[in-house]
Chain A
Amino acid sequence: MKLLTKTSLYYILFSMITFIIGGIIFYNTVKNIMYRQIDENLVTEQLLVEEAINITDTVPDYTSVFGHMIQVLPYIKIYNQVELIHDTAVYDSSVKEIIDCRHLKYIMLSTSKQGYTINIYKPLKNTKSMIAEIIFSITILFLSLMIILFIVNYFISRRAWIPFYRTLGKLSSYKVTQDESLKLPDSKIHEFHLLNETLEMMSQQIHRDYVSLKEFNENAAHELQTPLAIIKSKLDLLIQDQNLTPDQYTKIESAYEALRRISRLNQGLLLISRINNNQFEETEDVNIAALLKKLLDNFSELISGKNIHVDAIFNDEVILKMNPTLAEILLSNLLSNAIRYNFNEGWIKVELSSRSLVISNTGNPLKVSPRILFERFRKSSSTGDSVGLGLAIVNKIVLYYGMKIEFTSTDSIHNLKITF
């Protein structure tokens, strides 16, 4: 729900509540005022009638004064003086219908000790329509005020929130990896101004941290190369020793193997950080089919070593604008995975069409979800010297070029599809 919708809804809700409560209070106040007026009139009437009775000591002959119906009856038993005013309904023979009235009933004792009951009725029709009219006009006034305020408030809010949405738009398109810093449009509204300032400062801080982390990663990886080179050179010298036993050779080979893993890991990390650093910006037309052929040729010894059958179908000539190094790393990682995790006597199928490249191969069933294989340091097994960066690099390159990668696997057949 948008903020504006939310505030508007609350606005309407509370206006309604105020309106209802206010309306009830207002109605009662108006009604009370009117009734008090009527009651006062009734009492005045009663006093006049009482005075007339006292003078004449007879039932007066008039039945109505000022539209009031007056009825005076002799009253036999007198308990005490009663005076009460209440609402009632009486049958009016002149209009032949029951009408609402205000009724004053008064039992009096005249000076001659004669009891009388005085009933004075005041029809409420006019009063009620008057109240209705007052309430109606007030309601109209209130409602129109509410609507106008609502509309005004809506547009003011919408205008006032514009800087906020602008900030939001800028933020959503901002990437910490981008080089230019976050620039937010300034706002005259103090809160938004503060917000933008804080966000800019925060993004600068994050960017600085990101850059220094990035540099640290790259420097650390670079700094590792030299000690690795030293270890490698020392092992190279060590194996030249004439007096080594086969057992010692085996141990050195293990050391080589471990060293190879560190080097590969380091290279992989360097590559990923270089891709992050946009160091592969220059692109050229890469002929994917030709590159695949070249790589398959380079891998031919590995393929024949495992007696793998390769089926390469190039339906279309595909030329992609890519960095040639990245293109080669991408395809060579995919192919070497397909070879490495294949069975002896297995098969690989490479199918290239204008929209996609599908590499299918036989291999052991996956033990983990295909999705997490694309994360760093994920391996389907702990065998071999894999450092678990191959598919992470593939994923990185694929994302870098806005391609899509899908991995599906059924038992012992794995399909990797890249959509250009």
Chain B
Amino acid sequence: MKLLIIEDEKALANSIREFFHHENHICEMAYTYDEAREKVNLYDYDCVLVDINLPDGNGLDIIKELKENKVDTGIIIISARNTVGDKITGLDLGADDYLTKPFHLTELNARVKSVVRRRSFEGQREILFNEIRIVPDRMEVFIDKNLIDLTRKEYDMLLYFISNKDRVLSKESIAEHLWGDEIDMADSFDFLYTHIKNLRKKIVENGGRDYIQTIYGIGYKFLSSGK
């Protein structure tokens, strides 16, 4: 997968690149509006991450340009602005998603994968992971041939885990992914444990491997090879 990161904060841009580099994605960087325009016009990307506030221009203009020339590219806005108006403007222009700073890289990763999946695998609407098969359109999860019954949150959690397999996920990032970051429930991360236990149980009981590893003190990890 080829990504373009348009972000003037080099430290943040480098974090994103480093994170995606581990997934064997190709990341290109654009720190300025001009640089970004040039790259967008010259090359094709699967997904472009756009910061709206660039020192020499507005990221929204890049989205407009992308929409005119490169219809297949997924676009995710990463912005410090967090108003409904900004989100609507961005999405109306054709961005696929809008992520407010500060965000977790694992969240960004999940969003990028979701956008790319929706855009590029037109025919292939399924996510395959070892014996697990997910059909996002119907929100169904199969282990081998068995359909397993997951709650909405368990389903979201599984998808988040698979998007970030072999990554350490902090409890906070999981909670924010499932319940949204508007909700203040910092002292309640313990309840996550119950959900993860249930998810693990459902996978294992239906013949799946035990993938979820607890990382003491910080969170969980979904091991692609199983424990």
Contacts and interface: CB of A to CB of B under 8 A. Distances in A.
Interface residues of A, number: 53
Question: Chain A interface mostly helix, strand, loop or mixed?
Answer: helix
Given A301-B153, A305-B190, A325-B84, A239 B218 contact: yes
Interface centre among A233, A235, A256, A390 (most CB of B within 10 A): A233
A231 B103 CA distance: 10
A306 B185 CA distance: 12
Given A236-B170, A267-B82, A301-B153, A340 B188 contact: yes
A228 interface: yes
Interface centre among A239, A247, A264, A302 (most CB of B within 10 A): A239
Contacts of A383: 187
A302 B218 contact: no
A239 B215 CA distance: 10
Interface string A325-342: 100110011001001100
B202 to A, nearest CB: 16
Interface string A222-236: 110110111111111
B158 to A, nearest CB: 15
Interface in B18-53: 18-19, 22
A336 B172 contact: no
A252 interface: yes
A233 B183 contact: no
A276 B179 CA distance: 27
B191 interface: yes
Interface in A302-334: 302, 304-306, 325, 328-329, 332-333
A63 interface: no
B187 A329 contact: no
Contacts of B91: none
- Interface size of B as a range: 35 or more
Contacts, number: 134
A400 B81 CA distance: 22
B194 to A, nearest CB: 7
B135 interface: no
B191 A305 contact: yes
A381 to B, nearest CB: 12
Interface in B178-198: 179-180, 182-188, 190-191, 194-195
Interface string B99-118: 01111111000000000000
Contacts of A187: none
Interface stretch (B9-17, B68-76, B137-145): B9-17
B177 interface: no
Interface of A: 222-223, 225-226, 228-237, 239-240, 246-247, 249-250, 252-253, 256-257, 259-261, 263-264, 267, 270, 274, 279, 298-299, 301-302, 304-306, 325, 328-329, 332-333, 336, 339-340, 383-386, 390
The 8 closest A-B pairs by CB, nearest first: A305-B191, A233-B15, A249-B217, A225-B80, A229-B102, A385-B186, A229-B101, A250-B217
23 contacts: A226-B12, A226-B101, A230-B15, A232-B102, A233-B102, A234-B15, A236-B15, A239-B170, A239-B218, A246-B217, A260-B172, A264-B184, A264-B186, A270-B82, A274-B83, A302-B191, A305-B190, A305-B194, A329-B182, A340-B187, A340-B188, A383-B187, A385-B184
